[in-house]
Amino acid sequence: MQVKGQTWTYEKKPVILGASSIVGPEEGEGPLAEDFDFIYDNIEINEKTWEKGERRLLEDAARKALEHASIKEEDLQFYVGGDLMNQIISSSFAARKMGVPYIGVFGACSTSMESLAVASMMIDSGAAQYAMAGTASHNCTVEKQFRYPTEYGSQKPPYAQYTITGAGCSVVSAQGDGPHVTHATIGKVIDLGVKDPFNMGTAMAPAAADTITAHMRDTGRSPGYYDLIVTGDLAAVGLPIAKELLKKEGIAMEETNFMDCGLMIYDRDRQKYVLSGGSGCGCSAVVTYGHILKRMKRGELHKVLVVATGALLSPLSYQQGESIPCIAHAVSLEMGG
């Protein structure tokens, strides 16, 4: 591997040998439904608690990714994963079931690309032949943990986001066919003082802009290099802010398609439910591993930069009057050699 600034270049160009996306009923009604491997028809995910449901999504996704990668369970060497639950229990309990050496990570909703960046480092460095990255979120587990009791049904402001129910995993390897992981830009914690925990888009936009700026600087690229640059998840409020901040940095985002996973996953006419758009660890994971990789394999996209954003607050840090520290990790995906 090589490093320049915040950006790693993977010299072996690890391949995403197989990936998976399993979602809940609401995500299954959205425009990307056909790209998901399985859609549960109930928000309980056939389990007795939402937390067990979230874990089941992740276990399903892990199994499906192995199947798509056409490798045996015993050939998987490491699992790198995390989620939004306190003490990342969804990932740790899924890792218990998988029975492979496990690196738990946490980057809130940036976990999707943090885990892929670390798993790809294992492949590139020779630390693994096969490694899995994965994450999950569930609307009700997150509402309950971060906001109000779910049954309370409290109203949220229109700039709030809606945590998606879903899990995505990928198996990376040094050899094989599939999109390659070519670079990762590891984010710094950026905090411009936003304190409203419903306003994640505004809080996270500067982190996304900072990481995209670093990626372009470190690689000498401009946005036009990519067919698509996608954040996850700034939604309707954060994406225009990120565009504006990047414009001030002289980064010409108009050269490319600049989209957001939280805006892609739901029909926009469902806005009264999903407010400014989707969020949660699972959102950028299922959009990337479901939708984007399939478009890459169909030849519709060749070069994509996925910029997963995370808000690193806890209910306690908010209660103690702290602002919201945010981060974004970017991973560059390319088809072909």
Question: Which residues sit at the interface with a second copy, rule CB under 8 A?
Answer: 1-3, 6, 8, 49, 51-52, 77-78, 82, 84-89, 92-93, 95-96, 99-108, 114, 118, 121-122, 124-129, 186-189, 191, 312-317, 320, 322, 325, 327
Q: Which is nearer to a second copy, 99 or 157 (CB)?
A: 99
CB 331 within 8 Å of CB 305:
yes
- For 195, residues 6+ apart whose C-beta sits below 8 A from its C-beta are 318, 321, 322, 323, 324
Question: Residue 82 Cβ, how far from a second copy at the closest point, in Å?
Answer: 7
Q: Which is nearer to a second copy, 230 or 328 (CB)?
A: 328
Give CA–CA dist 158/142, Å, rounded.
18
Question: Residue 255 Cβ, how far from a second copy at the closest point, in Å?
Answer: 25
Question: Residue 295 Cβ, how far from a second copy at the closest point, in Å?
Answer: 29
- For 229, residues 6+ apart whose C-beta sits below 8 A from its C-beta are 212, 223, 253, 256, 257, 258, 259, 304, 305, 307
Q: Which is nearer to a second copy, 6 or 276 (CB)?
A: 6
Amino acid identity, residue 10? Y
Q: Which is nearer to a second copy, 128 or 228 (CB)?
A: 128
Q: Which is nearer to a second copy, 96 or 248 (CB)?
A: 96
Question: Residue 330 Cβ, how far from a second copy at the closest point, in Å?
Answer: 11
Give CA–CA dist 297/19, Å, rounded.
12
What is the token pair recorded at 328? 């974004």
Question: Residue 208 Cβ, how far from a second copy at the closest point, in Å?
Answer: 15
Please state, in angstroms and as integers, the Cα–Cα distance from residue 240 to each residue in 19, 176, 276, 323, following that order.
30, 38, 12, 21
